[in-house]
Structure 1
């Protein structure tokens, strides 16, 4: 799988990504950097499904690829982390509006330290 490109999220893409089965579980599990394989195992979903959901979440701007790491098998794998901690959807206008509570780099670093 090639490195995912991040596109500018739109409301339809965000709603579509969140509406798919397992997307919320992937976001919850991706509070710390994890590979697709680790997410697949944590949530107990097929790896192909996990890759599809990851791609949708990256396209929606809710998940980001943080780089690569060496797997236990010695392969270089992409690792992902969610970009938001909270997402609010407002349907009161013609188009949905989102307010996001983005994860800060400081929070990511703190959480990484707590995991080690």
Structure 2
């Protein structure tokens, strides 16, 4: 993704908060409740962040009502922006695979 496009995505209202909140998998409803944003906005922002490859579908978990819901988590551990005279450089550090694997095992155990 182009650096300018990534900055646009990160600059949209709630996107940074959603990334901060998704170190652990969360559903759209959980994000809506936690961040006090409308559920429709939560879904739109999740879609935008997923398309930007900053958020990923982590799986499906049971809600309190017993329904299976999609949960999302960020797939980036850190972003570094460098503003050079002629360009903007972005470095993304993905979440370590070990962290992802352990989270997957834990999620699978919780859903059984």
TM-score after normalising by structure 1: 0.78
Partner residue, 2:18: 26
Query: Which structure carries more helix by proportion?
Result: 2
Unaligned runs of 5+ in 2: none
Shift of 1:24: 0.8
Structure 1 residue 102, shift from structure 2 partner: 1.1
Unmatched 5+ residue regions in structure 1? Answer: 1-8
Alpha-carbon distance between aligned partners in 2 of 1:72 and 1:94, rounded to the nearest angstrom: 51
Q: Does the alignment pair 1:58 with 2:42?
A: no
| Residue 91 in structure 1 maps to residue 83 in structure 2 | yes
Superposed CA RMSD: 2.0
1:15 pairs with 2:19: no
Q: 1-side partners of 2:35 and 2:95: how far apart? A: 22
Structure 1 or 2, whichever has the larger Rg, is: 2
User: C-alpha separation between the residues in 2 aligned to 1:50 and 1:72?
Assistant: 19
